[in-house]
Structure 1
Amino acid sequence: IKMYAWEIPFGKMVAYARRKEINAIRKVSYIRGILLSFIMFLTRVSVFLSLVGYVLLQQVLTPEKAFVITAYYNILRTTMTVFFPQGISQLAEALVSIKRIQKFMLYEETDIVDKSVDNPNYPGSNQSTVVKDDEKTLNRKEAEKLFPSNGHATLSEAGIVMSHVKAKWDSNSSEYTLDDVNLRVQPGTLIAIIGPVGSGKSSLVQSILGELRPESGTIKVNGTFSYASQEPWLFTGTVRQNILFGQPMNRRRYQQVVKKCALERDFELLPYGDKTIVGERGASLSGGQKARISLARAVYRETSIYLLDDPLSAVDTHVGRHLFDQCMRGFLREHIVVLITHQLQFLQQADQIVIMEKGRVSAVGTYDSLRESGLDFANLLADPEKEEAVEEKSRSRSSSKVYSNRRNSEASLNSVADSYVEETPMQQQETQEEGKIGLELYQKYFRAGGGFLTFFIMLFFCMLSQLLASGGDWFLSYWVAKKGRDGKMYSANINKTRIDDTFASFNDTTTLPPTALPEQESTFMTLLRDVGVDMDAEMLDIYIFTAITVATVVITLARSFLFFNVAMKASTNLHNSMFRGITRAAMYFFNTNPAGRILNRFSKDMGQVDEILPSVMMDVIQIFLSLFGIVVVIAVVNPLFLLPTAILAILFYYLRSFYLQTSRDVKRLEAITRSPIYSHMAASLSGLSTIRAYGAQRVLIYEFDNYQDLHSSAFYMFISTSRAFGYWLDCCCIIYIAIITLSFFLFPPANGGDVGLAITQAMGMTGMVQWGMRQSAELENTMTAVERVVEYDDIEPEGELESPADKKPPKTWPEEGKIVFDELSLRYFPDPKAEYVLKSLNFVIKPREKVGIVGRTGAGKSSLINALFRLSYNDGSIVIDSRDTKEMGLHDLRSKVSIIPQEPVLFSGTMRYNLDPFDEYTDAKLWEALEEVKLKNVVAELPSGLQSKISEGGANFSVGQRQLVCLARAILRENRVLVLDEATANVDPQTDALIQLTIRDKFKNCTVLTIAHRLNTVMDSDKVLVMDAGQVVEFGTPYELLTKSEAKIFHGMVQQTGKSTAENLTRVAQKAHELNLKSKME
């Protein structure tokens, strides 16, 4: 993304996804806001309806009755307003989560046998038979019948038999990935599998591993296997741990493997040798080093079958020759080796060659038989002299004898290298803040939510809501007390009236006529007025009480909606800032921080900011305002109550401070211990086929359990401290209520309503204070998530994306493509004292020159490209067409230099988006670019053409096809400078030749830098740059380096390819040299 200068379109894609997420969260938040508002008004509305209804039913309301009702609702308050609504919402959320887990658990499971050592159903390291067909895994007796009894592949020896196998990755696809494949691999055979890009070579290996299930046919594997994947899978740990991969340490075998995999020199160059920490995905290593470590892991494991998926493409010719001769033909001579390769110079030494095309095995045979068969593919095979082939074969066979009687050292088996762990450099730990949450963090949060004006408006609504609620409580007390006085007067007067009426009835013997009945109501009203009850004042009180209650409901809801709107805005802005910080971070940050750490912040921490924090903060604001209101009401009743209240407040403050010292850091620890879980899960998923092939499932599960236990213990400690805090708060609240209640016995008040009010308020305060203290502590604990999110906003960024006005290059820059490297040094670490990977490079690449860059793996070739794109820390300068790249914006530089990277990447989305995320080109232009790289037919066969979805990481395309997509991107951009970093490493020679023709045609007026291990791709270059240990050791035309150079390094590399190939390469270089001289003379 950085090298393509695609931060903006990918940022927009993330912003779009985030908008959809936040819209869903906002709806849920508003519902939570309503539920939280219930705490404020639901009890009050219930009391209001009960009391007003009681009065309207012409019942006499007394303080005793009123505050019994109030106390009853206060008892129900927590259940009605917190537990019941939360129970409903949390049950709904739990059901959603359970259904998602259920959906995952119901996916079809693999039938790959668990080869873990401690699996009782697997016979350990003994050879075993694995037979798969379209319906079932056969048992041993059934397998005996299927295996031929002619001695070629019996159950007593290793072998692979594939019979009429049809398989496809996508069950909905009409085309088979493997179509009617028949293959038999004999014991002790080195079989080379070759074929064009996308022909099904890797899928063939995956079917043997059991990752690709056959729809029909049978796959019979007799023996255990080891596997080196095409894209090397490394996990975070030392190089040694990556090679051993859970196997016991056998020092003799380990040293042999290191030597045979050409890792000795690399260990000398690495800062801690084989104890050097490898970053996630091997970030600190070159592509060749990663490939050889992956190969070493496969070779170290003692098995009968070795499946090697193109390990030679990432290394130079010298190392490639060493790996093939010393490792595959030497160390593994007695075993089955299935080697996928595009390196045709090694084919003559293979015992058997399989040619694949469009998912079918088009030809099988020895090198000689295929070369003489007249197949079209045979034209691509080199034609070395027979003597060389015989010499190479005899050399490789003799080398194998050295290891035919190798013995394992019993002593080394016992030295299961526990000691080296102590010497291993520590992996960079995730940073952890210390101390209390500062006011500045809250300021950042509310600033992200819309600024302080919005915050104060929201706070005003919160205070107004509380003022109305407390005012309603006070008015209730006033009204009830007034009703009590009126009730006493009414009782006394009504008794007197009844006595007078009784005496009058003896004197009046007439009865009331029926027409007098309608006047009974007015008579009753008259009677009430006679006994001293003013009905107009009564209704006025009810109207006032109603108005206060309705206003409380409306303002409380408005307050909640406003607050959650502010919270959602804060979440959106904090996420955007964090994502901006990530996209602007230097590559050093990604090399030293595993993906799990980053995912942890974007998932769990951001999830807490989105969903947990707003509810907790609203709860805290609401509770503390309510407590303030309660204290004021109690103080109005009896100011003496302020004394125990103040003592209680001080006690609570010290309890909270004591609790937070522990809980805050435990919460931070809980967040940090969560990151390894994410990292471990991501690494395990990316290397799942390798893990299964090695039978390391249980080892990985054990590691995962350890990470999970560590996180669970931190989380359990956090929950335990929270519960202990709640217990001590409860104890304090009980003592407080006892003091309030006893005080009324000692100092009886004049007004009974005041007693009821004070006690009910104090009882309400008990639960509220306990919950409020816990929530205030939870708020500070949850704010650690904001702290971690904001931390990523403060990551040190790269240089500016856009150039200053006076340094901005014109749109036509670079016009020529001249590149000057002046005293260039490069380091991967920000520390100026860090070791330089490139050291004082000085050379000039002329306009439109085609320069090949070669050298041993780890020599600094890809680092040179990092320097060109300013992905690391550069000293010195790189000048392109008289403009120092250090002084211009990164987008201005990177958008003008095209790159086909060493590890081709496709992104989730459509094929069109992968080619043109800015939507700058027409469909016709895109199809033209795809045709140039021979992918038009592949894309056209997809269900929706350019709009077809690409799987995550481009999994539905082979590595070679992904590299071709990257080449299509470069063709579309039409820049004057093109960089090819192993661009054709994973494609077959035929496709490679076509790509080279395309590059020469499309980029003939461009400056092209080509990093290559295939020397035939650079032999017709204008110049070749030879690098070693971060320095330029040779620089000149290929022919000059072959004939006149004193260092003879390039000459030696050419000779390593074999006599015949070296002669062919020399002829190509001579011809290119002569054409170059001729063009200069003209």
Structure 2
Amino acid sequence: MKSPTTQAIFNGSDFWLTDWTNKNEQMLKDAAQASMTESFGVNDTASTVSDFFTTTLPPETTTLQTPWPTFSEDPSTWWSLYWGSMDEVTYYVAIYAIIIVALFISSMMRTVAFFVMCMRSSVRLHNRMFRCIIRAPIFFFDTNPIGRIQNRFAKDLGTIDDLLPVTGLDITFIFLNLLGVLVVVAVISPWIIIPTLILFVIFYFLRRFYMRTARDVKRLEGVTRSPVFSHLSTSLYGLTTIRAFGAQRTFERMFDLKQDHHTSAWYMFLCTARWFGITLDLICFAYISVVTMSLALSTDGSVTGGGVGLAIANALMLTGMFQWGVRQSAEIESQMTSVERVLEYSRLPAEAALESSPDKKPEASWPTHGSIAFEGTSLTYKPGEPPVLKNLRCQIRPTEKVGVVGRTGAGKSSLIAALFRMTEPDGPIYIDGVDIREIGLHDLRNKVSIIPQDPVLFTGPIRRNLDPFSEHKDDQLWKALEEVRLKSAVEELPGGLAAEVTEGGGNFSVGQRQLICLARAILRQNKILVMDEATANVDPRTDFLIQTTIRENFKNCTVLTIAHRLHTIMDSDRVIVLDAGEILEFDEPYELMKTEHSTFTQMVKHTGSSMAEQLWKMACLARAHRLMKPETDAEEEIPSWFLGAEQQPPALHTHYTEAVQEEAEEEETDKQTTSL
């Protein structure tokens, strides 16, 4: 409402100036007429210049000495006629001053209100997109590079914050000004509307022609911009590796290539805009020429001097607004693609509800045992694609230590995704008899601990990394650090638990970051622990420390270990062997290795004869340890041959014998060579 009011006041000021100008013009004419009447005896009936020269003059004034009347006889006559209406001038000035003040206040209110509205809209768009990104399923982040997401928050939201409000205000101002100019021109000279409407039509079709290209070019510029952000992000993330391998020049050339693609698209966009501007200038020049000539050749006497000035001024302003309006309309349409991209991320599908419904909420002590049951569970990341987990059926008993092995792409990580509901599984998964699909994600994920392959640390104090929700006292934090052998290392840091962790935990080694994650899991004291190849990237000493800590602190918990190195799961109670999303085998490592053609045996074979022998011994020792539990009659259960150190698994015996024979032959050959 403020914008139409502002435009009405603006047009009112133009009409007021025109009326004031016409009034002064009429006063000058009246003063000149009165002066000539007194000086030359011209009567009031001489209404035209020709009448003035044909009127009979007094004898004493038949000789005209000067081209204009003189006021030597009574100069007060002209002066009184012109300045006699001083109160009227004051009236015009006062009204015009009031109009200017009202226009200033209205313009300020319009601008402030518009920018406040744009700011609130931008904040809402940002918050909505941020909430959707935070609640997006993990598959979204697997299919969208981080550079693309950063581009939405940086470039697109920057356009909405900085450029779109200014362009939108220009469009609003120009549209209302065009309406006001049309009204003014129609009042002064109605027939000028005809070329004006023709100009509208020309600009409309010209804009359509331009936008067909500009829209695609702008979209192309946006598409070529995202790879630049993605390349910068990945280069910064892997900067250490790039420098270690001396690949700086390769990545520089890759960046230059992506930057050249973006620059070429941006240059094309600028060139199309410049061509459009020049074309508009030529058309507007022709329009101004037509309007000016038509007013100059007008002979009907209905157009006053003030009206002519107002019409030409508005014509000049009209053409300028036409050009700027068409350019800005094209610009706002291209900028609205940023709004479109933000809205696209504001409508992302979200994960399930975070909180459980009152009738489905589990007890605070859940889970009390830690049993896990997969009852025909399948998992598909995207509708229409083949499932990555296929009809899984298995029971994991409370406090059982279970290893999960398989080739790359077998479904090991998908099993974790199903357990944490990163992607909604098809088919039930029961934890202590509760279907995890029926409870909230917070209730589920707070009760299951995980130690990922890539440890995650947050920027901030160590205390907050160990206890994000401030649920434990400092002595409990120190005890957890002592359990993972990190207490002395943290005590040496300035501030102790208050010491700052840099971005990504850069001031800690990979092993230390993994141990901090392990200490975090110890503090949670959950009944279920998932290890996603947690020792794949650490040194053997840290690997041994993690395995020992887990055996000591999680002996009463269910531990699910995703294994990359087989020796980490040889002491597990049972092993799940996955292949193509299906469970092929599920039994003790010892029992699986006794079967020559089992998949697990083939995996052990691929480690080599020496490692296979060690793995077999580890399986035998783990088997003996389980059978020697107090509640088991170990003397009757353990066969005498089982405890032999030289015993080899049937599946590996042939391979092992061949290796021993080859080694003996090589030694014999070396001896013969030495003797010669």
Q: The TM-score by the shorter chain falls in which range?
A: 0.7 to 0.9
- Matching of residue 936 in structure 1 with residue 518 in structure 2: no
1:1010 lines up with 2:564 in the alignment: no
**Taking structure 1 as reference, are residues 1060 and 886 closer, same or farther at Cα in structure 2, changes over 3 Å only?**
closer
Could you list the per-position Cα deviations for residues 861-889 of structure 1 after superposition, in whole angstroms to 9, with x for gaps in the alignment?
Answer: 22211221122352222111222112222
Give the whole-Å Cα distance in 2 for the aligned partners of 1:674 and 1:1079.
Answer: 70
SS in 2 for 1:743: helix
Structure 1 equivalent of residue 662 of structure 2: none
Are 1:477 and 2:18 matched, yes or no? yes
* Offset of residue 605 of structure 1: 1.3
What's the counterpart of residue 552 of structure 1?
Answer: 103
Contact 1:667 1:718 in 2 (8 A): yes
- 1:810 is aligned, of 363, 380, 394, to 363
Contact 1:1016 1:1065 in 2 (8 A): no
Distance in 1 (CA, whole Å) between partners of 2:266 and 2:70 is: 77
User: How much has 1:1048 moved relative to structure 2?
Assistant: 7.5
- Indicate the residue corresponding to 1:464 in structure 2: 5
Which of 568, 576, 582 matches 1:1031? 582
Pairing 1:495-514 to 2, within 5 Å after superposition = none
1: CA distance between counterparts of 2:570 and 2:420? 26
Contact 1:486 1:532 in 2 (8 A): no
User: What CA deviation, in whole Å up to 9, does each residue of 1:198-240 have, x standing for no partner?
Assistant: xxxxxxxxxxxxxxxxxxxxxxxxxxxxxxxxxxxxxxxxxxx
| Structure 1 pair 773–531 and aligned structure 2 pair: CA distance change class (3 A) | closer
Q: 1:377-412: per-residue Cα shift (whole Å, max 9, x none)? A: xxxxxxxxxxxxxxxxxxxxxxxxxxxxxxxxxxxx
What is the correspondence of 1:904-919 to structure 2 with a 5 Å cutoff?
904-919=455-470
Q: Report whether the alignment pairs 1:656 with 2:656.
A: no
Residues 1042 and 1066 in structure 1, CA contact (< 8 A), matched pair in contact too? no
Provide closer, same or farther for how the CA distance between residues 535 and 1048 of structure 1 changes in structure 2, counting only shifts above 3 A: closer
Identify unmatched segments of 5+ residues in structure 2: 40-68, 637-676
Shift of 1:646: 0.9
Scaled by the length of structure 1, the TM-score of the pair is 0.52
SS for the counterpart of 2:278 is helix
**Map of 1:801 onto structure 2:** 354
Checking the alignment, whether the CA contact within 8 Å between 1:490 and 1:533 is kept in structure 2 is no
Q: Quote the Cα distance in structure 2 between the aligned partners of 1:989 and 1:714.
A: 52
- Distance in 2 between the 1:915 and 1:1038 partners? 34
Q: Is the 8 A contact 2:453 2:537 kept in 1?
A: no
1:1075 and 2:616 equivalent?
no
Distance 1:527 1:930, change over 3 A: farther
- Higher RCO (CA < 8 A, seq sep 6+): 1
Q: Which amino acid aligns with 1:958?
A: S
Tell me what 1:984 maps to.
535
Offset, 1:727: 1.3
Percent of aligned positions with the same letter in both sequences? 50
Question: 2:292 matched to 1:741?
Answer: yes
* Offset, 1:899: 0.6
Secondary structure at 1:875's aligned position in 2?
coil
Amino acid at match of 2:330: A
Question: How far apart are 1:858 and its partner, in Å?
Answer: 4.1
Q: How far apart, CA to CA, are the structure 2 residues paired with 1:882 and 1:649?
A: 72
- In the other structure, the counterpart of 1:961 is 512
TM-score of the superposition, structure 2-length normalised? 0.82
1:708 and 2:293 are equivalent in the alignment: no
Distance of 2:92 and 2:208 partners within structure 1: 45
Equivalent-residue separation in structure 2 for 1:795 and 1:763 (angstroms): 48
Residues 1046 and 461 of structure 1: is their aligned pair in 2 closer, same or farther, counting only changes over 3 Å? same
Task: Output the CA distance in 1 between the equivalents of 2:462 and 2:78.
Answer: 89
Q: Is this contact kept in 1: 2:355–2:440, CA < 8 A? A: yes
Q: What aligned pairs does 1:721-870 form with structure 2 within 5 A after superposition?
A: 721-748=272-299, 749-828=302-381, 830-832=382-384, 834-870=385-421
**Structure 1 stretch displaced more, 1056-1065 or 586-595:** 1056-1065
What's 1:600 paired with? 151
Decide whether aligned partners of structure 1 residues 527 and 585 sit closer, same or farther in structure 2, where only a CA change above 3 A counts. same
TM-fit CA distance, 1:820: 0.5
Structure (1 or 2) with the larger CA radius of gyration: 2
Residues 1031, 483 of structure 1: alpha-carbon distance in 2 compared, 3 angstrom cutoff: same
Report the 3-state secondary structure (helix = DSSP H, G, I; strand = E; otherwise coil) of the residue aligned with 1:844: strand
Report the residue type matching 2:219 in the other structure: R
The separation in 2 between residues aligned to 1:500 and 1:536, in whole angstroms, is: 27
Contact 1:1019–1:1069 at 8 Å: present in 2 too?
no
Matched, 1:949 2:528: no
**Which residue number in structure 1 is paired with residue 124 of structure 2?**
573
Residues 827-885 of structure 1: per-residue CA shift (max 9 Å, x gap): 33x134x2333332211112222223234444332221122112235222211122211
* TM-aligned CA deviation for residue 1063 of structure 1: 2.5
CA gap of 1:897–1:483, structure 2 versus 1, over 3 A, is: same
SS at 2:10 equivalent: helix
* CA deviation profile, 1:695-748 (whole Å, cap 9, x unmatched): 433332222222222211211111111111111111111111111111113324
| 8 A contact 1:489–1:532 mirrored in 2 | no
Pairing 1:641–2:192 present: yes
Q: Partners in 2 of 1:776 and 1:997 — Cα distance?
A: 68
2:222 matches 1:668: no
Runs of 5+ unmatched residues, structure 1: 1-459, 506-523
CA RMSD across the alignment: 3.0
Deviations 1:514-539, CA, capped at 9 Å, x for gaps = xxxxxxxxxx9x99666563222221
Q: Specify the alignment match of 1:610 in structure 2.
A: 161
User: How far apart are residue 670 of structure 1 and its match?
Assistant: 0.9
CA distance in 2 between partners of 1:614 and 1:530 (Å): 53
How far has the Cα of 1:921 moved from its partner?
A: 3.6
Letter in 1 for 2:13: G
* Counterpart residue identity of residue 358, structure 2: A
1:1004-1029 C-alpha deviation (Å, 9 max, x unpaired): 33222122345554344333333344
| Alpha-carbon shift at residue 482 of structure 1 (Å) | 1.2
- Find the counterpart in structure 2 of residue 886 from structure 1: 437
Residue 877 (1) aligns with residue 428 (2) = yes
Tell me how far apart the structure 2 counterparts of residues 1009 and 591 of structure 1 sit (CA, whole Å): 24
Q: What's the secondary structure of 1:874's corresponding residue?
A: coil
- In 1, Cα distance between equivalents of 2:461 and 2:546: 24
Whether the aligned pair in 2 keeps the contact of 1:1042 and 1:1048 (CA below 8 Å) is no
Cα distance in 2 for partners of 1:464, 1:504 equals 50
Distance 1:970 1:485 in 2: 94
Give the Cα–Cα distance (whole angstroms) in 1 for the partners of residues 464 and 457 of structure 2: 10
In structure 1, the residue matched to 2:91 is: 540
Distance 1:726 1:928, change over 3 A: same
- How many aligned positions are there? 601
Q: Which structure has the highest helix share of the two?
A: 2
Amino acid in the other structure paired with 2:15: W
Contact 1:1020 1:1072 in 2 (8 A): no
Label 1:742 to 1:501 Cα distance change in 2 as closer, same or farther (>3 A): closer
Does 1:972 pair with 2:523? yes
Q: Distance in 2 between matches of 1:1046 and 1:1063?
A: 19
Deviations 1:173-205 (A, max 9, x none): xxxxxxxxxxxxxxxxxxxxxxxxxxxxxxxxx
* Alpha-carbon separation, structure 2, partners of 1:582 and 1:1064: 46
